[in-house]
């Protein structure tokens, strides 16, 4: 595990890579000042459309998958969690800018360990997001469902506990979305639909 510990800072730095900011900037947009203001794939989809947002989604997913894959290779499942979570924390809490919500990065980490479950819940996310046009609702559903599903499938208690902690962190990162949902002011997941509170955080 010594190698894993040494790689944790690098995994964190990988997570801080500003995919959404860079991709949006190539289109002349400061994504932190448009839509919900969140530098993540959902907001890029909202502001610039699905094609551009998909690039960010893949990039953020890849950050978690790369960190988790390296962790699995050098430290088995605990190593995957250590480096994967470090990347997710880097994505959500970078030191010098506003971070994203962490769902795609977490999905990348988890696909290394639970590929079928991630694909299944990814399909659930897409159905909910398309049906309700609310990415936050879809994200919150799969965030809560994942540790529950892992527990039901009989994985070890420490994995379920760790996933529950990560899920709690991601739910807290969606506090603003939850507030807007309660007030019925949440942004739709379609380009150009972020009129209410366009610059809300």
Distance, in Å, from the CA atom of 96 to the CA atom of 22, rounded to the nearest integer, reads 15
Asked if residue 194 has pLDDT above 50, the reply is no
Asked if residue 197 has pLDDT above 60, the reply is no
How many degrees, rounded to 5, is the angle at CA 140 between CA 138 and CA 143? 110
124 and 133 in contact (C-beta within 8 Å)?
A: no
Q: Residue 195 has what pLDDT?
A: 38
CB under 8 Å to 52, separation ≥6 — which residues? Answer: 23, 24, 27, 44, 45
Q: Residue 191 has what pLDDT?
A: 46
Asked if residue 76 has pLDDT above 90, the reply is yes
Q: Find, among 28, 151, 5, 175, the residue nearest to 92 by Cα.
A: 175
Asked if residue 196 has pLDDT above 70, the reply is no
What are the CA-CA distances from residue 90 to residues 102, 116, 148, 199 (Å)? 9, 25, 25, 24
Kindly report, residue by residue over 124-147, the tens digit of the pLDDT: 998 998 888 888 899 999 999 999
Average pLDDT, rounded, for the chain: 90
Token reading at 107: 């999905």
Kindly report, residue by residue over 81-129, the tens digit of the pLDDT: 999 999 999 999 999 888 899 999 999 999 999 999 999 999 999 899 8
Distance, in Å, from the CA atom of 151 to the CA atom of 170, rounded to the nearest integer, reads 18
How many degrees, rounded to 5, is the angle at CA 125 between CA 92 and CA 198? 60
pTM confidence score = 0.88
Domain spans of the chain, in order of start: 2-182
Distance, in Å, from the CA atom of 86 to the CA atom of 111, rounded to the nearest integer, reads 16
Q: Residue 190 has what pLDDT?
A: 67
């Amino acid at each position: 595990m010594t190698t894993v510990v040494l790689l944790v800072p690098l995994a964190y730095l990988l997570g801080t890579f500003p995919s959404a900011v860079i991709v949006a900037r190539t289109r002349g947009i400061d994504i932190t000042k448009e839509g919900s203001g969140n530098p993540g794939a959902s907001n890029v989809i909202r502001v610039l459309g699905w094609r551009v947002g998909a690039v960010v989604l893949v990039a953020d997913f890849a950050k978690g998958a790369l960190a988790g894959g390296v962790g699995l290779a050098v430290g088995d499942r605990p190593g995957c969690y250590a480096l994967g979570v470090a990347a997710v924390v880097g994505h959500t809490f970078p030191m010098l800018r506003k971070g994203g919500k962490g769902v795609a990065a977490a999905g990348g980490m988890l696909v290394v360990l639970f590929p079928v479950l991630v694909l299944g819940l990814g399909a659930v996310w897409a159905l909910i997001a398309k049906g309700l046009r609310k990415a936050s609702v879809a994200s919150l559903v799969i965030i809560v469902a994942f540790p529950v599903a892992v527990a039901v499938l009989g994985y070890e208690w420490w994995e379920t506990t760790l996933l529950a902690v990560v899920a709690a962190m991601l739910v807290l990162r969606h506090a603003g979305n939850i507030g807007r949902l309660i007030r019925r002011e949440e942004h739709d997941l379609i380009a150009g639909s972020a009129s209410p509170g366009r610059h809300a955080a």
